[in-house]
Chains A and B, each alone.
Chain A
Amino acid sequence: MNSRAKQFGLAAVLALLAVNPAFADETTGITDDSISIGVMGPFSGNASSYSKAEIGLMAYYQMINDEGGIHGRKLVAIQEDTACDPAKAIAAAKKLIHQDKVFMLQGNSCSGAAVAIKPEVVDAGLPWIVAHAVSDTISTPPSANIFHGVPTGEANGNAMAAFVLSRPDTRNVAIIEHSNDWAHSYSNPARAYLKQQGIEPVLELVMERGQTDATAQVLKLKQAKPDFIIGALYEAETAIFLRDMKKYGLDTPVMGTAGTDLENTLKRVGDLDTVKNYFVVHPYVDNLDGPRMKKWADMIHKYYPDEELTNFSYIAIGSGVALVEALKSIGPDLDRAKLIAALDAIKDLDTGILSSPITWSADERRGVQGSAVAGFVDGKPTVLEAWQTPYQ
């Protein structure tokens, strides 16, 4: 090949590389009467039950649209399936950003999928509000355009430890957990919080996923005599652990994660006595069937009449409230930079659904820094701020 041909080949390759355009239009995805929002979630696959979060969010958009939209613009959701699979999630993000050309992104259950798309979203620069996935990695260190609108793993872990220590005279705390990162995302922040308070766990135990017996762990705990147990276990294993605690006469209170639902756990174990001392992280202002949650349940059923409501159905709505608040504050002259600035201006926003307010700033994008706890009081599920202190 002569040198001219080589030069031509090099020029052709460089021209091809230059084809993919930079993406920086501040008003992409906005028209006079619409704002397009990419909503990614696991609408198929093993984890599709998580997509109830995105259904709840889109119901909220529809409610806002029925109320006239925001400054004359409707919120138009463009749904994309991630199946909780990182590669599919990247494809979904690229499609929304480069093909559908949405104004912003909101949604995303599944931390793995959310972490995988982060570089793509950071490069594109469009605002992204994470509305369900909890991994702190998504929003720390803070990126210019990423906002976390739910309690992260650290917030949940801190809430667990704070509740445990709110019980008078609690000094001896034991931890039982799965040996996976999901469990560690709760237990490690809880450990750190305890350590700050000068408390080291008296006993740390592992219960593997799929284990059908917790006798060994329960007997060790009986010997250690903790005042409180932190349990980072999935719901099925939680039920087994609580069952074996009762069997061996151990009635120490147990603090569980947001990955277990209080009433589902009751259904699994079958009797109230077994779960009477079990508490879970609960990010909402009320029980799911409580009066303060009713309007949200009615809203979802208005737009998705056949939707079966679970704990996940409501989790993304709080960040939707924050988005609408920010969009309203900007006025009709909207662009991405203004939205990012408006989101950063949100401080102590009471969403009416999340038990902790949302505050964002350029230095801290984990907007929800706490969570309430739910437990059985007098046989009824009750939202608590601290030990024997109902949430107001």
Chain B
Amino acid sequence: MHTPAESRTAPRWIFWLLPILALAIPLATNPYTQFIINAMLIYTLVTLGFSVVIGNLGQLAFANTAFFGIGAYASAMAGNALGLPWLLTVPLAGLAGAAGGFLASAAALRGIRLYYLAIVTLAFGELMRWFYTHAGALTGGTDGLALDRGDIFGLQLNSDTVQFYIFLLLTTLLVAGTVNLLRSRLGRAIVAVRENEIATASLGIATSRIIVTAFVWSGFVVGIAGAMFALHTGRVFPESFGLTQLIINFAMVLVGGLGSVIGAVLGAVALTALPEYVRAFPGMEEIFFGVIVMVVLLVMPKGLASLLRRVSPIFHETHHRD
């Protein structure tokens, strides 16, 4: 029997149609458009992980770019130093990102909140970038760290099409995993912490454990996105994980809809595609980007996902609260 909330939503299997239909995308792309679509899949995970902490958990934490960089460098370093094939570096990158998430959660556990947490986590991100730049022997410094992409079951991993199918699989699994986490008892506790941490604790819920779990899951998801990014670009550079990256990721979360899984997908797709459409106007990208973000947030302050919710109840997310 469905709960009342679930009865308003369509059967969840409908969402599995999306990745199945997406299997045909490479039939209609060239290497450039395929590269952009692959970036959309990567940024879907980056936005999703960010949204879990900032949207669902309600913590003003900006360590997302740090997790992204940690995952990317963990993958490239494991490939180079240990000679592991890229596929085996993916779980390592996820675990490294999760470890980063655990470290970032330590600040939140010590009662640091709001703007103080924002500054501490921003500093964490900048510290990591300093490390990538200066630990040249490990990270390649500002020249970056090249990745030997190799192959998987005989298929060359430098092919954008091969990357697409792997990224689609990973993104689908992690989006589904995040939806399941948020629909679980733990996910409801995450949202409860956001709504009122003291009231949640008074119900006997160990809020510190909830906070750590949300950060660790966020780090895991974004860390895997980092490994995908390393494969995608073939070389990781410190400047890929700076403040500009963070601002773009934050905009993706807000434009899609804070705390919404559908919003994470929409925000990532929209803000990855948009800069490509304004390529024809060199130097205008920042202006277009800023205007579009402002317009979306003024017209739809709850993000693109809220528009879809108005169109059809199929897009209602049981774990999501406006």
Chain A positions near chain B (C-beta within 8 angstroms) = 13, 16-17, 19-20, 43-46, 48, 51, 79-81, 83-88, 90-92, 94-95, 97-99, 111-112, 115-116, 119, 123, 135, 137, 179-182, 184
In the complex, which of the residues B158, B235, B283 contacts A86, with contact meaning CB atoms closer than 8 Å?
A: B235
- Residues of A with C-beta under 8 A to B142: 111-112, 180-182
B309: Cβ under 8 A from any A Cβ: no
- Residues of B with C-beta under 8 A to A44: 282-286
| Additional 11 contacts, C-beta under 8 A, given A81-B282, A84-B239, A86-B235 | A17-B161, A20-B31, A20-B161, A43-B282, A44-B286, A48-B283, A85-B239, A87-B39, A90-B35, A90-B233, A97-B32
Query: How close is B197's CB to chain A, nearest CB, in angstroms?
Result: 37
- Residues of A with C-beta under 8 A to B35: 90-91, 94
B2: Cβ under 8 A from any A Cβ: no
- Residues of A with C-beta under 8 A to B158: 119, 123
- Residues of A with C-beta under 8 A to B27: 16, 19
Q: Are B234 and A43 in contact (CB under 8 A)?
A: no
Q: List 22 A-B contacts (CB under 8 A).
A: A17-B155, A20-B31, A44-B283, A44-B286, A45-B286, A51-B283, A81-B279, A84-B239, A86-B240, A87-B240, A90-B233, A91-B32, A94-B32, A95-B276, A111-B142, A116-B144, A116-B234, A116-B235, A179-B134, A180-B141, A181-B136, A182-B142
B232: Cβ under 8 A from any A Cβ: yes
Query: How close is B73's CB to chain A, nearest CB, in angstroms?
Result: 14
What CA separation (Å) do A83 and B286 show in the bound complex? 10
Chain B positions near chain A (C-beta within 8 angstroms) = 23, 26-27, 29-36, 39, 133-134, 136, 141-144, 155, 158-162, 165, 229, 232-235, 237, 239-240, 244, 275-276, 279, 282-286
What CA separation (Å) do A101 and B284 show in the bound complex? 23
Residue of A whose beta carbon sits closest to that of B236: A86
- Residues of B with C-beta under 8 A to A80: 279, 282
Q: Is the interface of A mostly helix, strand, loop or mixed?
A: helix
Q: Are B143 and A135 in contact (CB under 8 A)?
A: yes
On whether A86 and B233 interact (CB within 8 A), knowing A44-B285, A94-B35, A112-B144, the answer reads yes
Q: Are A86 and B237 in contact (CB under 8 A)?
A: yes
- Residues of A with C-beta under 8 A to B276: 91, 95
- Residues of B with C-beta under 8 A to A181: 133, 136, 141-143
- Residues of A with C-beta under 8 A to B279: 80-81, 92, 95
Residue of B whose beta carbon sits closest to that of A119: B234
Query: How close is B41's CB to chain A, nearest CB, in angstroms?
Result: 13
- Residues of A with C-beta under 8 A to B133: 180-181
6 closest A-B pairs by beta carbon, nearest first, are: A94-B32, A43-B282, A181-B142, A181-B141, A95-B32, A43-B283
Query: How close is A364's CB to chain B, nearest CB, in angstroms?
Result: 21
Q: Are B144 and A20 in contact (CB under 8 A)?
A: no
What CA separation (Å) do A121 and B144 show in the bound complex? 18
- Residues of B with C-beta under 8 A to A83: 285
